Structure 1
Amino acid sequence: MIEQLKTFVQVVESGSFSKAAEKLFISSTAVMKQMNLLEKQAGIPLFIRTNHGVSLTKAGTAFIKDAKYMLQYFQESLIRMHHSAQANRHIVRVGTSMLNPCKVLIDLWNEIGDLYPQFGINIVHFQDDAHTLPTTYRMIGQSLDLIAGPFLTDNLKDYYHMLELGSYRVCFAVSRQHRLASRKTLSIKDLYGERLAVVNGGNSAVIHDIRDFLKIKHPQIQIKDIPRLYDLEVFNRCEESNTVMLTLEAWADIHPSLVTIPSDLDFAVPYGLIYPLHPSEEVGQFIEIIKEMQGNALPKVE
């Protein structure tokens, strides 16, 4: 009915079916069918049709004001509905950075977000700095609702919930000038005689296992322990010193002068959401939606 009213008003303002069709980007036949149906529903002619165009009957003249009013009221009603929906919409603030990309969450939410219009996502960027990152984590539950990224800091488990969504393969990164830069994949033995930077400031069990495995099984590789968190400075130093770096597939585009190459290491680092032990009711509901989507059998948020 609304489309018929819009067409009716346009026909009156244009003076003909064909001109109205041009303005509405539909065919003249479609305009005539809509007006015939409107007249049938009204039970009375609304137009006087001539070879020079159309004009209104007395009934049509009486109806045009009401038609415009109904269209205006409909538009105002839509605005009120949207305002009401926005007022009840919960915005989830998701922290993201180059090393903690939230794309996995956004891709997941884009699949199901239309089913939950009461939720929206606000992306909040932060810097990958080993000195300031602990402060960033403390923002979770305050200016951030959650962070999406790899779980490389096991120390957080005592302070935050960690919802696993998947895992990243472990890779090696080398300078574009390195002798191994042209390889499509790297085996452990390819690194014999090389220095390998292993970052583990976050006390990650996975990184510990990789380090111990390499030291015990492959002593021909010189392990360079870096007792700090992953940040952009680590990437810079490895590129400048021509040191091979233990990295993740998700970080392939972090540094333009480094090449990330898949490895034959049978290790993977989990990634997912880091959120407060006691999230707000709205954030808790958001997390439960993600859990249901993932089929994750973790305990429900209290």
Structure 2
Amino acid sequence: MNEQLKTFIQVAESGSFSKAAEKLFISTTAVMKQMNLLERHAGVPLFNRTNHGVRLTQAGSAFIKDAEFMLRYYQESLIRMHQAAQANRHMVRVGTSLLNPCKVLIDLWNGASDRYPQFGINIVHFDDDAHTLPTSYRTLGQSFDIIVGPFLTDRLNDCYQMLELGSYRVCFAVSRHHKLASKKILSAQDLYGEKLAVVNGGKSAVIQDIRDFLVRNHPRIRIKDIPRLYDLDVFNRCEESNTVMLTLEAWGEVHPSLATIPSDLDFTVPYGLLYPLHPSGEIQQFIEIIREMQRVPTPG
């Protein structure tokens, strides 16, 4: 009925089925069918049809103001309905940055968001800075509720909870001018004689295991320990100094002057959601929804 009212008002204003159809961006036949149906429901003619267009009958003139009122009331009702729904909707604040992009979570959520209209996503940007990142981790729940990224800092594990979503492959990044930049895959032997930056300011057990493996089995690689968290400055310095860097496949597009090349090392780094130790009831419910989505196999 809502579409019929809109069409009726437009026909009355245009004085023509074809002009109304053009403004409504539908066919003239569709306009005529809607008006015929409306007249059948009303039980009286609403238009006088002539070769020069259409004009309202006395009944149509009496109905036009009511039609405008009903359409306006319907539209206002929709607004009130959506406002009421928004009042009960909880916005989950997801932190995002160049090294901790939220796309993984957004893609996952977009596949199920229709089933959970009580939740919405609000994206909050934060900086990848080794000096401020620990504060971002420690204050989860203040500026944002969730960070999506690799688990690379065991020394802050007592500041948040984690929900693993998957793992990233370990890679090596080299300057695009480096002699190894054209390689499709790098083995540890390819790095003999090279300086390899191992960033582990977060005291990550996974990164430490990789370092110990290389030191024990490939002593010809010159390990350069970087006692800080990964940030853009580390990428810049490795590119400037032509130093190979231990990195992750997810960071392949972080620095345009670095080539990220898969390695043959049998190591991966888990990634997922970081969220407060004591989340609100809504955030805990959201986390449980994501956890359940991880348990259910994807069809096909």
Length-normalised TM-score, structure 2: 0.95
Q: Give the C-alpha shift of residue 154 in structure 1.
A: 1.6
Distance 2:96 2:234 in 1: 19
Match of 2:195 in 1: 195
Is 1:215 matched with 2:215?
yes
Match of 1:300 in 2: none
Q: Which amino acid aligns with 1:288?
A: E
Give distance in 2, aligned partners of 1:68 and 1:127: 52
Kindly provide the amino acid, as one letter, of the partner of residue 80 in structure 2. R
Structure 1 position 239 matched with structure 2 position 235: no
Distance, in Å, in 2 between the alignment partners of 1:51 and 1:193 is 91
CA distances 1:82-128 after superposition (whole Å, capped 9, x unpaired) = 21122222111111111111111111112112222221111111111
Structure 1 residues 3-40: Cα deviation after superposition (integer angstroms, max 9, x where no partner):
01111111111111111111111111111111111111
Counterparts of 2:51 and 2:99, CA distance in 1: 70
Residue 224 of structure 1 deviates from its aligned partner by: 1.1
> What is the aligned residue count?
296
Separation of aligned partners in 1, 2:182 and 2:272: 32
2:42 matches 1:20 = no
Equivalent-residue separation in structure 1 for 2:231 and 2:272 (angstroms) = 19
Q: How does 1:76-225 map to 2 (within 5 A)?
A: 76-225=76-225
Q: Do the aligned partners of 2:98 and 2:128 also contact (CA within 8 Å) in 1?
A: yes
Q: Which moved more, 1:202-211 or 1:108-117?
A: 108-117
SS at match of 1:167: strand
Distance 2:74 2:274 in 1: 44
Code of the residue aligned with 1:161 in structure 2: it is Q
Offset of residue 270 of structure 1: 0.6
- TM-score normalised to the size of structure 1? 0.95
C-alpha RMSD of the superposition: 1.2
Matched to 1:204, the amino acid is S
Q: Secondary structure of 1:135's match?
A: helix
How do residues 47-62 of structure 1 correspond to structure 2 at under 5 angstroms? 47-62=47-62
Q: Could you say what secondary structure the match of 1:223 adopts? A: strand
Give the whole-Å Cα distance in 2 for the aligned partners of 1:164 and 1:156: 16
Q: What amino acid is the match of 1:86?
A: Q
CA distance in 2, matches of 1:237, 1:19: 66
Q: Which amino acid aligns with 1:225?
A: D
The equivalences for 1:251-290 within 5 A come to 251-290=251-290
- Name the SS for the 1:124 alignment partner: strand
Task: Give the share of equivalent positions with the same residue, in percent.
Answer: 79
Equivalents in 2 of 1:144, 1:56: separation in Å?
Answer: 58
Q: Report the Cα offset of residue 271 of structure 1.
A: 0.6
SS at match of 2:111: helix
Mean CA deviation greater in 159-168 or 79-88 = 79-88
Q: Which amino acid in the other structure matches residue 80 of structure 1? A: R
CA contact (8 A) 2:138 2:159 kept: no
Query: What residue is the counterpart of 1:71 in the other structure?
Result: 71
Inter-partner Cα distance in structure 2 for 1:131 and 1:57? 76
Partners of 1:175 and 1:246 lie apart in 2 by 13
Amino acid at match of 1:47: F
Corresponding residue for 2:227? 227
SS in 2 for 1:230: coil
Letter in 2 for 1:121: I
Distance 1:176 1:28 in 2: 61
